[in-house]
Amino acid sequence: LKIFCGNSNRKLAQEIADYLGISIGEARVKCFQDGELNIGIDESVRGADIFVVQPTCAPANDSIMELLIMIDALKRASASRITAVVPYYGYARQERKSRGREPITAKLMANLITKAGADRLVSMDLHAPAIQGFFDIPVDNLPCVPILAEYIKEKDLENICVVSPDIGGVARARELASRIGATLAIVDKRRPEPNVSEIMHVIGELRDKTAILIDDIIDTAGTITQAAAVLKEKGAKGVYACCSHPVLSGPAIERLEGSVIEEIVITNTIPLAAEEKCGKITVLSVA
Ligand code: R5P
């Protein structure tokens, strides 16, 4: 068994390797002068069972190309099995045509990963579980909820209500609620245009509750911070938030810092940039 990684989350790859007590395989992942990738595997992988750890997070297009080229190099070097470990699957939110003449980019990614030579995909909390069906190779879609639930249990919070910030996340919120013995509420969110969210209603009782919002992704943090403000208005005595994938683009950190949310618990499927470190954020490892 050998682990390789590109540049998108070397720290996570190292944590996984440490956990397994092995070192990361020798490979160069660099760029030529013109920006084309210069990738090479610097040790024998003939007959080996290979795991390439490479979430396709920002810069997404570079991360994707690194993954594809690395798989191609490993295949051509006679690896016996290649598992693409993509804890955050970029482009997952483009998994269907919501209007005419749009691409289904999540399916295109599946085609590219398979065609490059992957034999299996391991991902975490795919934005839409149906993305598993875009692949004709086995897909493991691992949940982050058990890791988040363990952390929340240790905090000994009382009278908890787990809240899904939209209808699509209800199953995840229900799973967390059942693991920590909490009630459930749902926010009715609309998205008039990409990266803009509007909150319509909250279904469930929040008065005097400790609310824990759970989402798969925090991107611009519009959804989670607006939902948190509404939960406060509905009488929640404290609001926490957690998510699997901290995309954290644009105004996210400013919004989270200025929000009523007391603590934001995220995982390391996507690494935090130095400027994204904020006192309210706790990072849990999925390694
Ligand atoms: C959308 O369906 C996802 O589950 C997240 O709610 C969304 O990606 C969060 O985006 P933002 O943080 O930009 O509101």
Q: Where are the beta strands (DSSP E) in the chain?
A: 2-5, 27-31, 37-41, 49-53, 81-86, 120-124, 139-142, 160-164, 183-193, 196-203, 210-218, 238-246, 263-267, 281-284
Judge contact between 222 and 258, C-beta under 8 A: no
Cβ of 259 closer than 6 Å to ligand 1, yes or no, is no
How far is ligand 1, taken at its centre, from the CA of residue 127, in Å? Answer: 10
How far is ligand 1, taken at its centre, from the CA of residue 165, in Å? Answer: 9
How far is ligand 1, taken at its centre, from the CA of residue 190, in Å? Answer: 11
Q: Which residues are annotated as a binding site?
A: 34-36, 93-94, 127, 166, 191, 215, 219-223
Question: Average pLDDT, stretch 128-144?
Answer: 98
pLDDT at 117 (0 to 100) = 98
Active site residues: 189
Question: Average pLDDT, stretch 148-153?
Answer: 98
Alpha helices, H only, 81-212: 105-116, 145-154, 170-180
For a mutational test of ligand 1's pocket, the pick from 217, 242, 264, i.e. the residue with the most ligand atoms closer than 8 A to its C-beta, is: 217
DSSP state, 271? P
pLDDT at 216 (0 to 100) = 98
pLDDT at 195 (0 to 100) = 75
Report which ligand 1 atom has the smallest distance to the Cα of 165. 6
Q: Which residues are annotated as a binding site for D-ribose 5-phosphate?
A: 191, 215, 219-223
Quick: pLDDT tens for 228-282. Answer: 999 999 999 999 999 999 999 999 999 999 999 999 999 999 999 887 778 999 9
Query: ipTM score of the complex?
Result: 0.98
Q: Which residues are annotated as a binding site for Mg(2+)?
A: 127, 166
**pLDDT above 90 as % of the chain:** 92
The neighbour count for residue 170, using CB atoms within 10 Å, is 13
Asked if the peptide bond before residue 143 counts as cis, ω within 30 degrees of 0, the response is: no
Report which ligand 1 atom has the smallest distance to the Cα of 252. 12
Cβ of 95 closer than 6 Å to ligand 1, yes or no, is no
Q: Which two tokens stand for residue 13?
A: 């790859």
**Cα dist. 173→40, 129, 201 in Å?**
42, 15, 17
Judge contact between 40 and 29, C-beta under 8 A: no
Residue 197: pLDDT band (50, 70, 90) is confident
| Nearest residue by C-alpha to atom 8 in ligand 1 | 217
Residue 194: pLDDT band (50, 70, 90) is confident
3-state secondary structure of 209: coil
How far is ligand 1, taken at its centre, from the CA of residue 94, in Å? Answer: 12
- Provide the whole-model pTM: 0.96
Angle made by CA atoms 189, 89, 283, in degrees to the nearest 5: 75
Report which ligand 1 atom has the smallest distance to the Cα of 166. 6
pLDDT at 198 (0 to 100) = 78
How far is ligand 1, taken at its centre, from the CA of residue 252, in Å? Answer: 11
The neighbour count for residue 207, using CB atoms within 10 Å, is 10
The kind and range of the H/E element at 72 are helix 60-76
Q: Which two tokens stand for residue 100?
A: 């005419």
The neighbour count for residue 77, using CB atoms within 10 Å, is 15
Cβ of 223 closer than 6 Å to ligand 1, yes or no, is yes
Cβ of 242 closer than 6 Å to ligand 1, yes or no, is no
For a mutational test of ligand 1's pocket, the pick from 219, 230, 253, 266, i.e. the residue with the most ligand atoms closer than 8 A to its C-beta, is: 219
Q: CA torsion sign, 179 to 282 to 200 to 194?
A: negative
pLDDT at 111 (0 to 100) = 98
DSSP state, 234? T
How far is ligand 1, taken at its centre, from the CA of residue 215, in Å? Answer: 7
Task: Give the span between the Cα atoms of 112 and 26, in whole angstroms.
Answer: 24
Specify the pairing of strand 196-203 against strand 183-193.
antiparallel
